[in-house]
Structure formats: structure tokens, C-alpha cells
Amino acid sequence: MDIKNEAIKKSKLEVANVPPIVAIFRQAMRTFDDKIKADSPEFKENFEKLKSLVDKITPEDLGFDKNLADLKFWAKPRKAPCTYIEVIQNDKINMSIFVLKPGFTMPLHDHPQMHGLLKVIYGAVDIRSFTEYPLTEVVDMVDIEMRAKLEADRLSHGVHKHRKLYATISDSENCREDSGACILTPTLSNYHEIRSKVPSAFFDILAPPYDTFSEELGPRRCKYYQVLQELTVNVVELEEIPVPECFYCDQAPYLGPPIP
């Protein structure tokens, strides 16, 4: 009996029997290990492996209850426009499912110093993503000097103003169940809004999770924005706003395979 070959066969069989969501969790933990720098070839390779796994995830793999996407479910009185399902969260990653009411738009929001993958598992959503635009490259029509004077005057009178920034529209796409995962990074497509025309659900991975501590930012808080003005076809000015009253969630339990 060849013990080595038997061990290899056993190992391959064990891998083949691992539920997809467990394989994704394990790969995500490898990908977002603090010891691996985000600009390293190793991180890039791990991230591509993770995306490949997420691309293939199905509602069945997640134990998704399709009754949550039934129109009758959304017709209930006082039903929240979004249902949140936590798959798993630790200090490295958050894995979850969002179910959106038809016609609802998840407000434009950010992901401070975070990587993310979003995979539609039911229905279809329109995603519009923005990438922050360096101030040194602001289009000529924006008078930065005048803006700075107005801002200084406002602050001198103790008037608080939410953050403003310039951004390019980095992507605008319709994502369906057969679409690959959309990605965001700390510097690319880090701001996005998600609109559901029909009852829809998407699987989401964020690393690190919201509210984890960053030496530069403190706790990673989710901030919301509106498009203040369109400067060119592809450049906009965004303004931070309070959490929109229209955005709130109820919760449903995760019914998929346990994640060790």
C-alpha cells in the first residue's frame, strides 16, 4: 500500500467535499492575512483565487431562502427595504448577504481602506461606482482657490460642513446571477450605489470589516454621499450626507453550511 499516494487522494477528496462557502472563507482569510502586503504578487494571486471562487457561488451554496425575494414578502406593511444576513464576521473579514426591495437604491457610500467583492446571487442590480479623483488633477472649471477661501470663511464662523471630494465614474454596470463578482479596493471604485429593479440579493465580502480600527482613520465608519454636481461627463463632486432615512435593514438568519 502506497501511504503517500493514499494521503494525497484523501487530501484531494477532502478538498472536493468542502462546501464552496467554506472554501471562500478559507481563501479570504489567506488573502487578507496581515502578513501579506496588499501590493505584493502574493496578495494579487490570492485575491484572484478568491474572486474565482466567489464568481461561482450560488444561492444554494449559501442556503439562500428565495422566499426572501418573493414579491409577497416585500409587500408586507412596514417591511424594511433591505434585509441583511450575516454569514460570518471576524476582525479580518465580513461575509454577508443583502436582499434588496424592487425599485430600491442602496445609497452611495464608501469603504474606507477596504477591499471588497460583490456577487449577485438572485435577480439583478445596477451598480454605479466612483473612484476618488486627485485634487491636483481637478478640471479647470473648478476654482480651487475660491473654494478654499469659502471653506476657510465657513469654518471661521463655526459652520460645520460635510466632506466634499471629486470622483470619476469608474464603472456603471448591470450585474446578474451569471455575472462575475464586482470588486473594489481602497483606491478603486471605493464608492458605489446599488439599485435593484427587481427583488435581488448579493453576496458581499469586505476586508477589513466596518468599524475595525485604522491608524489613519480611527474606526472605519461607513459614510454616505450625494452627487453635488457633474463637472464633466465623467467627473463629479460628491458631498457627504447623513445616513439617508430611506436606508435601514431588518435581518434574517444565515441558513447555509456552518463555517468552522
**pLDDT tens, position by position, 122-177:** 999 999 999 998 765 444 444 555 555 555 555 555 444 578 999 999 999 999 99
Q: Tell me if 8 is assigned to some domain.
A: no
Q: Could you tell me whether strands 82-89 and 249-251 are parallel, antiparallel, or unpaired per DSSP bridges? A: parallel
Residue 160 corresponds to which cell in the numbers above?
460645520
> What's phi and psi for 34, nearest 5 deg?
-60, -25
* pLDDT computed for residue 12 by the predictor: 47
Residue 246 sits in a domain whose CATH number is 2.60.120.10
User: Residue 175: inside a domain, yes or no?
Assistant: yes
Alpha carbon of residue 173 to chain centroid: 15
Q: How many domains does the chain have?
A: 1
In a domain, 13, yes or no: no
| pLDDT confidence of residue 136 | 53
The overall average pLDDT reported for the chain is 89
Residue 15 has pLDDT above 50, yes or no: yes
* Sheet with 182-184: strands ordered across: 182-184, 115-122, 200-207, 94-100, 82-89, 249-251
* Residue 70 falls inside a structural domain: yes
| HSE toward the beta carbon, residue 83, CA cutoff 13 A | 22
| Nearest to 244, CA basis, from 58, 46, 102, 109 | 109
pTM score, whole prediction? 0.85
Q: What percent of the chain has pLDDT over 90?
A: 77
CA distance 174 to 127: 6
Beta strands (DSSP E) in 110-188 are 115-122, 124-132, 164-176, 182-184
d(CA 53, CA 25) in angstroms, rounded, equals 10
Let me know if residue 1 belongs to a domain.
no
Task: With respect to residue 125, please indicate whether it lies within any of the assigned structural domains.
Answer: yes
142, part of any domain: yes
Is residue 203 within 8 A of residue 60, CB to CB? The reply is no
Contact indicator for 129, 236 with CB cutoff of 8 Å: no
Q: Is residue 120 one of the residues assigned to a domain?
A: yes
